[in-house]
Structure 1
Amino acid sequence: MTPVFGIAGHSGSGKTTLIEAMLPLLAARGLRVNVIKHSHHDFQMEPPGKDSARFRLAGAQEVMVASPFRYAIIHELREAPEPSLDEQLARLSPADLVLVEGFKRAAIPRIEVYRPVTGKPSLHAEDGSFLAVATDAPLETGLPCLPLNEPAQVAAFICRSLDLG
């Protein structure tokens, strides 16, 4: 099974920026990395009025858009429950690591991205299952504190935690 590691934190804490910075570092280690990003909001993958959007609006359950450069599958839930993280992981192509953004309560190894300047409470204070905190400020916690602005150190922590070398 592909190792999975979560990056959790409140909106605006820097999760996406951290993952974006780590991806080339992990690739340089020879790792193929997939990412799942959870959103609480509706989103559009294609511009309204394009063929694939028209197919979805007409009732298609799934639409695949394919080109010589990439493909995407849009699956409409149409009142069905959101798939579990395990179900979503099962749909991904093989990789050496899957980073998961969001899923704050998932039972996977994870770190919290925490910036006190946002004024939001930390997650790790209420949830003892985090392995570390990536932060940009001094923090009193029993967890390892990783420098948020040094993604190489965060990537190294993830690799050590999962024994990825």
Structure 2
Amino acid sequence: MVTTFQIIGHKKSGKTTLTNDFLKFGKAAGYSFSVVKHTHGPVDIPANTDTGKFYQQSDDVLLLNDSQTIHYQRKIAKTASEQITELQKNSPADFLIIEGLKELDYPKITLLKEDEVKSDFADISQILVFASIQKDESNIISLMDTDERKKFIINFLREIQ
């Protein structure tokens, strides 16, 4: 089964930046990834496109072309945990990164914003690392420098696998 971990933090903490760097630096090191992205708002599919029209009128839309598949699904009967478990079983990737969904029980990298401290996440399980892309403090890992971020990512992937 795919090795699963989470990147969590409040809005604008750098979750997407770090996730993208995991994909970029990890892929360059020979790893493959699947990603679950949690979003609080609706997915914006323009209604004036073919896809938007299909999406408005159906519960499922599967887009296929020669290089990719995209699945839009609404009215999902399964919980987020059940969907992730299904993806874990079927993913050919080395790693599954879950961005967000801090209530899940997987190992986590927690990103702190400039005005946050570790105790802001006291009720969250399985935090392996506190880090920040926005500040440099002695009690957390600073990921402000891209080279340091790359080293952290490669070491993290080796250790968690």
CA RMSD of aligned residues (A): 2.2
Higher normalized helix content (fraction of residues): 2
**Which digits, 9 at most, give the CA deviation of each residue in 1:37-92, with x for residues without a partner?**
11111112x3222122212222x221111122322111012xx5663234135246
| Contact 2:25/2:154 (8 A) holds in 1 | no
Specify which of 128, 133, 136 is matched with residue 131 of structure 1: 128
Counterparts of residues 144-159 of structure 1 (less than 5 Å)? 145-149=140-144, 150-159=148-157
Q: TM-score, normalised by structure 2?
A: 0.82
Q: Residues 1-165 of structure 1: matches in 2 within 5 Å?
A: 1-44=1-44, 46-58=45-57, 60-77=58-75, 80=76, 83-91=79-87, 93-116=91-114, 119-120=115-116, 122=118, 123-127=120-124, 129-135=126-132, 136-140=135-139, 145-149=140-144, 150-163=148-161
Extract unaligned runs of 5+ from structure 1. none
Partners of 1:148 and 1:37 lie apart in 2 by: 21
Identity across aligned pairs (percent)?
Answer: 24
Query: For residues 11 and 82 of structure 1, do their structure 2 counterparts lie closer, same or farther at Cα, with a shift above 3 Å needed?
Result: farther
Secondary structure, aligned partner of 1:56: helix
Cα 1:82–1:139 shift into 2, 3 Å: farther
CA contact (8 A) 1:6 1:108 kept: yes
How many residues align structurally?
A: 153
Q: Distance between the aligned counterparts of 2:125 and 2:68, measured in 1?
A: 39
SS of 1:131's equivalent in the other structure is strand
TM-score, with structure 1 as normaliser: 0.80
2 CA distance for matches of 1:104 and 1:148? 20
Change in CA separation of 1:85 and 1:139 when aligned onto 2, cut-off 3 Å: farther
Give the gaps of 5 or more residues in structure 2: none
Q: Is the 8 A contact 1:22 1:151 kept in 2?
A: no
